[in-house]
Amino acid sequence: MLCCNITVSLLISFPPTIVQLYQPVRNQDWCIPFTVTGNPRPDLHWYHEGKLLEEQQYIRTEIHEITDTEYHGCLQLDIPTHIHNGIYTLVASNEFGEDRGNVSAHFMHIPDVDHSGTGGLGFSCITLKFFLKYGRSSKFGMKGSSSVISNEDDSASPLHHVSNGNNTPSSSEMGPDAVIIGMTKIPVIENPQYFRNPGSMLKSDTFVQHIKRHNILLKRELGEGAFGKVFLAECYNLSPDQEKILVAVKTLKEASESGRADFHREAELLTNLQHEHIVKFYGVCVESDPLIMVFEYMKHGDLNKFLRAHGPDAVLMADGQQSLQVELTQPQMLHIAQQIAAGMVYLASQHFVHRDLATRNCLVGENLLVKIGDFGMSRDVYSTDYYRVGGHTMLPIRWMPPESIMYRRFTTESDVWSLGVVLWEIFTYGKQPWYQLSNNEVIECITQGRVLQRPRTCPKEVYDLMLGCWQREPYMRLNIKEIHNLLQSLAKASPVYLDILG
Pick out the residues of the known binding site. 223-230, 250, 296-302, 360-361, 374
Nearer to ligand AMP, 129 or 310 (CB): 310
| Closest to ligand AMP by CB, 34 or 282 | 282
What percent of the residues of the chain are helix, what percent strand, and what percent coil, each to the nearest 5?
Answer: 30, 30, 45
Q: Which is nearer to ligand AMP, 235 or 405 (CB)?
A: 235
Q: How far apart are CA 119 and CA 381, in angstroms?
A: 36
User: Least distance to ligand AMP from the beta carbon of 400, Å?
Assistant: 19
Strands 86-94 and 242-252: unpaired
Total Cβ atoms within 10 A of residue 445: 18
CB 263 within 8 A of CB 283: no
What residues are designated binding site for Mg(2+)?
361, 374
**Looking at beta carbons only, is 282 or 470 nearer to ligand AMP?**
282
Give least dist CB 156 to ligand AMP, A. Answer: 18
With b for 16 or more beta-carbon neighbours within 10 A and e for fewer, the 187-215 pattern comes to ebbebbebebeeeebbeeeeebeebeeee
356 belongs to the catalytic site: yes
Q: How far is CA 204 from CA 144, 183, 199, 312, 461, in A?
A: 25, 49, 8, 49, 44
For residues 106 and 111, give the distance between their C-alpha atoms in angstroms, rounded to a whole number. 13
The contact set with ligand AMP (CB under 6 A) reads: 222-223, 225-226, 230, 248, 250, 279, 295-298, 301-302, 363, 373-374, 379
* Cβ at position 303, least distance to ligand AMP in Å: 9
* In the complex, least distance from residue 121 CB atom to ligand AMP, rounded to whole angstroms: 35
Enclosing H/E stretch for 238: strand 229-239
Output the known binding site for ATP.
223-230, 250, 296-302, 360
Chain centroid, CA 52 distance in Å: 31
C-beta nearest to ligand AMP: residue: 225
Q: How far is the CB of 337 from ligand AMP (least distance, A)?
A: 19
**Distance separating alpha carbons of residues 483 and 493, to the nearest angstrom:** 15
Report residue 356: phi and psi, to 5°. -145, 45
> Please, which residue, 296 or 327, has the CB nearer to ligand AMP?
296
The nearest distance, CB 309 to ligand AMP, in angstroms, is 12
User: Given the DSSP bridges, would you call strands 352-353 and 161-162 parallel, antiparallel or unpaired?
Assistant: antiparallel
Least separation in angstroms between residue 49's CB and ligand AMP is 42
Catalytic residue among 356, 380, 415, 464: 356
Burial string for 456-494 (b: 16+ CB within 10 Å, else e) reads ebbbeebbebbebbbbeebeebbebeebbebbbebbeee
Q: Helices 330-349 and 412-427 meet at what angle, rounded to 10?
A: 170
**194 vs 429, beta carbon nearer ligand AMP:** 429
Cβ proximity to ligand AMP, 302 vs 403, nearer residue: 302
Q: For residues 428 and 463, is the Cβ–Cβ distance under 8 A?
A: no
Element (H, E) at 224: strand 216-224
Q: Which residues are catalytic?
A: 356
